[in-house]
Structure 1
Amino acid sequence: MENADTAYSYKELYTELENYEKNGVCMLMDGSKASPMQIVTAHMVREEGSYMRDYILDPEGYIKSLIFVNINENNENHFEN
């Protein structure tokens, strides 16, 4: 069972990702488009995985894509800007 701090962290993550989505930021998880709920759910149910964020910026320096990669999977993912 999750403690209150963990539940709060997931809620904060969801709010953060929802704001990115509202601002038109494309979010990918392991190479596929993902919604804030899909990303948070993956964080909640992961057993051995940890996700690393990769920010892709536009020429003006604004975030245009947010990519989550499972760093514990033994695979090679290649992303395009």
Structure 2
Amino acid sequence: MSGYEKKDVQNLFTELNGYEKKGVDITLNGLAASPMQVVQAHILRENVIYMRDYVMNEKGDIKELCFTDIEI
């Protein structure tokens, strides 16, 4: 699993699925993505780290979660 434990992958999917259910937009390198697409990207791309950016609305709630790849 390219360095990821099964439990870590499941936890990431559960976390992102929760955000999606709350209406938080999720993007991967600027494109809309599902929780499964983000998880698959983490598993498949071994030499890439994904940086998270949280975009808040005027109330301070998370409205968007952006993943951007940073190559090592």
Q: TM-score range by the shorter chain?
A: over 0.9
Root mean square deviation of aligned Cα? 1.8
Identity %: 44
Show structure 1 runs of 4+ deviating over 2 A: none
Aligned to 1:10: 9
Amino acid at match of 1:63: I
Bigger strand fraction: 2
Q: Structure 1 residue 2: deviation in Å?
A: 6.3
* Structure number with higher relative contact order (C-alpha < 8 Å, ≥ 6 residues apart): 2
Aligned to 2:36: 37
TM-score (norm 2): 0.92
Aligned length: 72
Gaps of 5+ in 1: 74-81
Write the distance in 1 (CA, Å) between the matches of 2:71 and 2:60: 29
Q: Structure 1 residue 50: deviation in Å?
A: 0.6
Partner of 1:24, secondary structure, is coil
Gaps of 5+ in 2: none
